[in-house]
Structure 1
Amino acid sequence: MTKASSDRVATPTRRGALAGLATGAGAALLASAPTASALVPAGARGAGASIPSSPTAAASPTPGAMQLFTDPALNFAALLALGGAGFGSSEVGEVLTAVNAINAAGADQQTFTAEFRRWGDRLTATATRHPQTRRFRSLRAAQYYDQALFFVLGSDTPGDEEELYLAGRRSWDEFARLCTPAAITDRVRYEGETSLPVWFFRPDASGRARPTVILTNGSDGQNVDMWTYGVSAALARGWNALVYDGPGQGQLLFVDQVVFTPRWERVVSLLVDWLERRSDVDEGRIALTGLSMGGDLAPRAAAFERRIAALAAMPGTLSPWLGFPPELRSIVTPDKAETNRIWNEEVVPELSQEEAGAIKKRVEPFSIPAMLAARQGRIFTDFWTPAQRIMALDITRVVGRIKCPTLVLDYDDEQFYPGQPRAFYELLRAPKDYELLTAATGAQLHCSPMAPQQHCEVVFDWLEDTLGRGRRP
């Protein structure tokens, strides 16, 4: 980019766009900056496109009791936590008590992180000899640690990120161990010394071959989200469910330091291999779902892995890169040095603390240097490299290769991928269905945070209609 072309985008405009930047798979826009109010929301737990949202959108998609925080990012995260109560992954009273404490302390990323961390610590420290109580306390603790983890890079203790992840992981592992039957855990060799942790849930230990769903998370969701958005529903219908961490997720990101790959079929094919070695898996009925940015990853895998019998994209996503504001995308050119000069000299100095926290979180799954800098309270200096990795996730040209039946979800007031699910659906050449979850039933917003039970009903009704029922336990 020449100096003249870079000058066409004024720094204040970039700053205004950054105020609307979202941060990933389970939280919303960090839009508390004054300039954010006029922006169309973009990005978040996966990132979306800067396209006008549904014409049915109300002035506020979270009116009344749905408005727990005035900051949309904190509000969206809290709604996700609250929505999990229907599956036991939170408690309404616990979440609302935490919300009240955060608001009383002055709601921001610091107080949000600290309060939800306290709730995770409180539940794990409470001794009980009753396995069922310990099981669900562990699940709720995993949820609350996840909430704290999401905003820790914008808090006063960003260096606690790995520690918070591991606390949530221990709680999740304890929950999985206490399930009946216990989840089967393993590590599937991926590349070199890297392996994918997997958790295989079964309705019972009979060994009967059952339909199985592989649940794919988004850009920064944790395993507890997969319980809420699939495992519980699968078990109730007599299906097996496989949860995993892929590159850029969970264990592989926070501990092994492996970033996202655009070749997600390499990940899913290994999981299918693992499943096919099990006698309790009906290998002709293996389904794949993708939540949030997983709605980009899972379709990419299904386009090349022919053993997938059905696919659900939740929502269908073509290009995570479009979730970044156009003013920020415009600074990226083939010239790495010029791109990074603009980033460091024109963009970074104008970032507020909230904006910096947002972009640190959004970029860390694509850049280990960015993640390590963020943990030290600094912002990364190389924007060009992670931008290339994010752009490489564009699946527009491969959607037409998908052969299996596909369900595409969309949401009223979709603030992270507006317009992309319908465009995704139009590109499909396979048998396909499109489902819009609406504000009329409280299922609006990205991934229906207030209505995960409705969300699962739609997805698993469709899976049963497509692949048949599992035998109930």
Structure 2
Amino acid sequence: MPPLIKHFFPRNESFGFEALRAAGYSNSGGADVAEVIAICSRIPSGDEDAWLREWKAAGDRAATNAKMSLAKANTPAARDAFLRASNYYRTAEFYRRVDPFNDELSKSLDKLGRTSFCAATDLMPYVTKSVSIPYEGTTLPGILMRPDRSDQPGPIFILNGGYDSTKEEVAYSVGASALELGASVLAFDGPGQGQALREQRLFFRHDWENVITPVIDYALAQPFVNKDKIVLLGLSMGGYLVARAAAFEHRAAAIVLNDGIYDFGSAFRNKTPAIGRYLIKNGWDRTVNFVIHRMEQLDTGFKWGVSNGKWVFGLNSKVDVLRSVEKYTLKGVMENIKTPTLVLDALDDHFLKGQPRELFDRLTCEKEFVQLTREEGASAHCSVGANARLNQVVGDWLMDLLSRP
């Protein structure tokens, strides 16, 4: 188990990573580190019911404290408490994957997380609004944040989350840094993500250019967007999605892949023994589903990954998740990426180790590779827990690139 992930839950990799992920938002007001330590101290390793109970209690406490501060006109404290509530509610809901569409508690926690985030943005100095992005006869939900009300054209960061993130999470984990740099931010939930999944039942698709192109169309229709300074930033699985889109959509000035992914299916294939891959290929679904069930009893992260896959891909069988992810590869298309690209790598990534380097080595465009280190506390997947250092590296690269004549 990667050393950073051991800190909160030494015997449960998934719990350890998700706790570090939640704690990492402390640099943008979304957590208090000591509070996260206290929350985790009350959760037995692997106990998903206790996980939900303690994180929800923390969200409720933060929301109550936010309202108390708001009543006393203590706006900064209320803002940060609402951000903590949003983060903690999202974390509480994380393992509710039996039937999220019909799970009232799952839906309630998701709504609490979104409304808490909205309450926080109401107390920020930025111009924030919920937007609907036209997409294939419907719309995608988004959050548009601007440094001010000026229509002077400037850069915009389009934030693309991953396998389980939401637009609210990426808006405060990445958006705060972008806004301070003077850029606007557009965070959105695409098919398979957040509100688009829960409320519209839009499921993931591997041909993500069909998602990013209308999002860029929407951004370009805004008077305050400089068409030459559009940045696409993909987080986690978003590292595949943005790269796939960039092979067909060339209007961005820069793309940032955190972490870079050439073959998303490898995250599941690495957990599946050779005999399992043979059985999947030859249609032994009942046998494979039985094996998956036994593996889930031993590995919290594997159980969550497959259960989440059933939901986000819109599938009825767990073995079909292992089949579906095989489409999420850049083989045969990545040579078409022309946009300057920053590929980030986390040394101890327990999901997709080695994928950033494989992607980087295959890129033929202008590119840069940065591997953040254990000494910086930045070696976990997507460098969670080291957001300040991560944002510094991304910001330095983008400011240099976007300042070119």
Q: TM-score, normalised by structure 1?
A: 0.77
State the match for 2:28 in structure 1: 87
Alpha carbons of structure 1 residues 365 and 213: separation in structure 2 relative to 1, 3 Å: farther
In structure 2, do the counterparts of structure 1 residues 181 and 450 end up closer, same or farther at CA, with 3 Å as the change threshold? closer
Say yes or no: does 1:465 pair with 2:404: no
- Which residue is equivalent to 2:121? 176
Q: For residues 33-78 of structure 1, what are the alpha-carbon distances to aligned partners after superposition, in whole Å with 9 as ceiling and x for unaligned?
A: xxxxxxxx7xxxxxxxxxxxxxxxxxx52288x3455312111111
CA distance in 1, matches of 2:277, 2:210: 28
- State the alpha-carbon separation in 2 of the partners of residues 437 and 84 from structure 1: 18
- Answering whether residue 319 of structure 2 is matched by residue 383 of structure 1, we say yes
1:321-470 superposed matches below 5 A: 321-324=265-268, 325-327=271-273, 328-333=276-281, 338-348=283-293, 351-352=296-297, 355=300, 357-370=303-316, 381=317, 383-384=319-320, 386-468=321-403
Unaligned runs of 5+ in 2: none
- Please list the CA deviations of residues 154-177 of structure 1 after superposition, one character each: whole Å capped at 9, or x if unmatched: 79x965222221221121222233
Map residues 29-428 of structure 1 onto 2, 5 A cutoff. 60-62=2-4, 66-103=7-44, 108-126=47-65, 127=67, 128-129=70-71, 130=73, 131-153=75-97, 160-192=105-137, 194-324=138-268, 325-327=271-273, 328-333=276-281, 338-348=283-293, 351-352=296-297, 355=300, 357-370=303-316, 381=317, 383-384=319-320, 386-428=321-363
> In structure 2, how many angstroms separate the alpha carbons of the residues matched to 1:295 and 1:92?
27
2:295 touches 2:303 (CA, 8 Å); kept in 1?
no
- Tell me how far apart the structure 1 counterparts of residues 103 and 368 of structure 2 sit (CA, whole Å): 42
Deviates more, 1:409-418 or 1:167-176: 167-176
- Deviation of 1:153 (Å): 3.1
Deviations 1:420-456 (A, max 9, x none): 1111001111000000101122111111112111111
Give the 3 Å change call, closer, same or farther, for CA 204–402 of structure 1 in structure 2.
same
- Quote how far apart the aligned CAs of 1:312 are: 0.7
Partner residue, 1:375 = none
Please state how far the C-alpha of 1:225 moved relative to its aligned partner. Answer: 3.0
Aligned residues: 392
Cα–Cα, structure 1 residues 76 and 158, in superposed 2: closer, same or farther, change >3 Å? Answer: farther
CA displacement 1:84-131 (0-9 Å, x = unmatched):
10111111232122122225xx66222111110111122223423234
* Counterpart amino acid of residue 239 in structure 2: G
Per-residue CA shift, 1:186-232, capped at 9, x if unaligned?
1112123x321111111122222111111110100123431344201
**CA shift in 2, pair 1:276/1:346, >3 Å:** closer
Q: Which has the higher contact order (CA 8 A, sep 6+)?
A: 1
Report the AA paired with residue 175 of structure 2. Answer: V
Whether the 8 Å CA contact 1:196–1:244 is kept in 2: the answer is yes
Q: Deviations along 1:383-440, whole A, 9 cap, x unmatched?
A: 23x3343211111221111101001111111211111111100111100000010112
CA contact 1:110–1:152 (8 Å) conserved in 2: no
Query: In the alignment, is the contact (CA less than 8 A) between 1:196 and 1:252 conserved in 2?
Result: yes
- Partners of 2:334 and 2:108 lie apart in 1 by 38
Amino acid at match of 2:122: R
Conserved 8 A contact 2:5-2:380 = no
Partner SS for 2:381? coil
Percent same amino acid among aligned pairs? 30
- Structure 2 distance, partners of 1:63, 1:340, is 33
TM-score, with length taken from structure 2: 0.89
Contact 1:154/1:353 (8 A) holds in 2: no
In structure 2, the CA distance between the partners of 1:351 and 1:436, relative to structure 1 (3 Å rule), is: closer
Q: Tell me, yes or no, if the aligned pair for 1:109 and 1:154 is still in contact at 8 Å.
A: no
Letter in 1 for 2:124: C
Sort the Cα spacing of 1:359 and 1:282 in 2 relative to 1 into closer, same or farther, 3 A: closer
Residue of structure 2 in register with 1:44 after alignment: none
Say what the alpha-carbon RMSD is for the aligned residues: 2.4
Displacement of 1:262 in angstroms is 1.0
CA distance in 2, matches of 1:221, 1:329: 28
Letter in 2 for 1:98: I
Assess if the C-alpha contact under 8 Å between 2:168 and 2:187 holds in 1.
Answer: no
Structure 2 SS opposite 1:450: coil
SS, match of residue 84 in structure 2:
helix
Tell me the amino acid that sits aligned with residue 266 of structure 2.
Answer: L
Q: Which amino acid aligns with 1:281?
A: V
Q: 1:287 is matched by which residue type in structure 2? A: V
Letter in 2 for 1:109: E
Question: Which has the higher mean CA deviation after the structures are superposed, 218-227 or 274-283?
Answer: 218-227
Query: In the alignment, residue 187 of structure 2 is paired with which amino acid?
Result: V
Q: CA deviation at 1:354?
A: 5.1
| Structure-to-structure mapping, 1:10-21, within 5 angstroms | none
Q: CA deviation at 1:352?
A: 1.3
Deviation at 1:132, TM superposition (A): 3.3
Task: Give me the whole-angstrom Cα distance separating, in 2, the residues matched to 1:227 and 1:363.
Answer: 23
CA contact (8 A) 1:343 1:383 kept: yes
Offset of 1:353 from its aligned partner?
7.2
